[in-house]
Amino acid sequence: MALLDSKVTTRNGVVEGARGKRLRRGTISWRGIPFAAPPVAHRRFRAPEPAHDWPGVRDCTKIGKAAIQEKRFTAIAPGKFAPMAEDCLTLNVFSPDSSSSKPRPVMVFIHGGAFILGTAATPLYDGAFLARAQDVVVVTVQYRFGPFGFLDLSEFATDDRPFDTNVGLRDQIAALQWVQDNIEAFGGDAGNVTVFGESAGGTSVLSLLSAPSTTGLFHRVIAQSPAPELIVEQDAATVYADEFVRLLRDPQRRSNSFERHEPPVDTAEAQRLLTAPNPALLLAAGNKLMRFATKTAGGSIPFAPIVDGDLLPRSPLAAAAGGLTQPVPLVIGSNRDEANLFAKLWNVLPDAERTLMRVEDDEVRKEIASHYEDGDRDRIRLAGDSIFWAPMTAFADGHSGVAPTYVYRYDYQTKILEATGFGATHATELFSVFGAYRAPMGAGLAVADWPGSGRVTQNVQGRWGAFARTGDPGLGWPAFTTGERKVLVLDDPDHVEADPDTLRRQAWYRVHSPA
Active site residues: 199, 338, 426
Q: In what order do the strands lie in the sheet with 57-59?
A: 7-10, 13-16, 57-59
Q: What letters, b where the CB count within 10 A reaches 16 and e where it falls short, cover 1-27?
A: eeebebebebebbebebbebeeebeeb
Considering only CA atoms, which of 104, 10, 100 is closest in space to residue 60? 10
Look up residue 114 and give its DSSP letter: T
Look up residue 372 and give its DSSP letter: -
CA distances from 222 to 143, 319, 380 (A): 18, 17, 26
Cα 406 to the center of its chain, rounded Å: 19
Cβ pair 95, 50 in contact under 8 A: no
Interatomic CA distance for residues 261 and 250, integer angstroms: 17
Question: For 89, how many CA atoms within 13 A lie in the half-sphere containing its CB?
Answer: 29
Alpha helices in 118-233 (DSSP H): 128-134, 146-149, 167-182, 200-210
In angstroms, what is the C-alpha Rg of the chain? 22
Considering only CA atoms, which of 319, 115, 108 is closest in space to residue 211? 319
Interatomic CA distance for residues 444 and 427, integer angstroms: 16
CB neighbour list of residue 182: distance below 8 Å, 6 or more residues apart: 10, 11
Interatomic CA distance for residues 241 and 154, integer angstroms: 9
Interatomic CA distance for residues 230 and 297, integer angstroms: 13
Specify burial of residue 139 (Cβ count, 10 A radius: 0-12, 13-18, 19+): buried
Interatomic CA distance for residues 246 and 321, integer angstroms: 37
